[in-house]
Amino acid sequence: MMRMPQRPYHHGDLRTALLDSAERTLRERGTAALSLRELARETGVSHAAPGRHFKDKQALLDALALTGYERLAQSLEAADDPALPLEPRLTALARAYLSFAVRNAALLELMYARKHDTDLSEQLTSAVDRSVGSFERLISDAQRRGEIVEGDSERITLVAAAGIQGLAAFTANGSLDPEVALAGVDEYVHHVLHGLKPR
């Protein structure tokens, strides 16, 4: 916890400090435990100070969601190797998403619960698009090579991504053991590509 004993009147980077503290609380004690006043206390600042940087609690949550999407997009981009054949490529991407979901369950919940009417929604939209983009690129690439059925690539991305999102949701709320989920990704991807009907 270690706080600087004599912080100067101006914090310096209160906004960042609040976001960091919020994310730690989120990870350690869940969404319900997140209070602006406690955040302020932990950061060694008056309870009214957060109001300078976030117009209200929702604004802080939105900012938190934004950093989440940015990190997710980055993880997905780092995990995507266009040189890989379709199935391992999709598997890697699915693994990256699921592993983000496992490591950031509460944050992901918050990311999906967003009420999109803030003034950072352009940034949010772009971060979301970046995340979806990795999947979309994979699908279009595969379609171009004839490795995936033709049709609206957005819809097909939805099919592929919906299942992974579902697995992530089952994992986040405890219906599915994280290790089982991660281990089962290969099987999942295989089923999605080959279908549940026998060939």
Partner DNA sequence: ACCTGAACACCGTTCAAGT
Residues interacting with DNA, by CB under 7 A? 9-12, 14, 34-38, 40, 45-49, 51-53, 55-58
Residue 183 interacting entry, from a copy of itself, DNA, none, C-beta within 5 to 8 Å by type = none
Pairwise CA distance, residues 95 & 76, whole Å: 9
Which residue, chain included where needed, has tokens 């099919």?
159
Q: d(Cα 163, Cα 192) in Å, to the nearest integer?
A: 8
DSSP string, 41-79: HHHTS-TTTHHHH-SSHHHHHHHHHHHHHHHHHHHHHHH
Stretch that binds a copy of itself, among 7-15, 42-50, 73-81, 144-152 (CB under 8 A): 144-152
Output 43 or 171, the one with its CB closest to a copy of itself. 171
Q: Which does 188 bind (CB under 5 to 8 A by kind): DNA, a copy of itself, none?
A: a copy of itself
Give the DSSP H/E element, type plus range, for residue 86: helix 86-103
Please identify which residue in 33, 173, 177, 179 interacts with a copy of itself, judged by CB under 8 A: 173
Using alpha carbons only, give the angle 195, 156, 114 rounded to the nearest 5 degrees. 120
Torsion, Cα of 90, 160, 74, 22 (10° steps): -130
Minimum distance of a copy of itself from residue 160's CB (angstroms): 7
Q: Using CB under 8 A, which residues numbered 61 to 100 contact a copy of itself?
A: 86
Nearer residue to a copy of itself within complex by CB, 40 or 160: 160
Name the token pair of 161.
């991504």
DSSP state of 146: T
Q: Which does 113 bind (CB under 5 to 8 A by kind): a copy of itself, DNA, none?
A: a copy of itself
> Binding of a copy of itself at residue 127 (CB under 8 A)?
no
Contact footprint for a copy of itself (CB under 8 A): 86, 109, 112-114, 116, 146-149, 155-156, 158-167, 169-170, 173-174, 176, 184, 187-188, 191-199
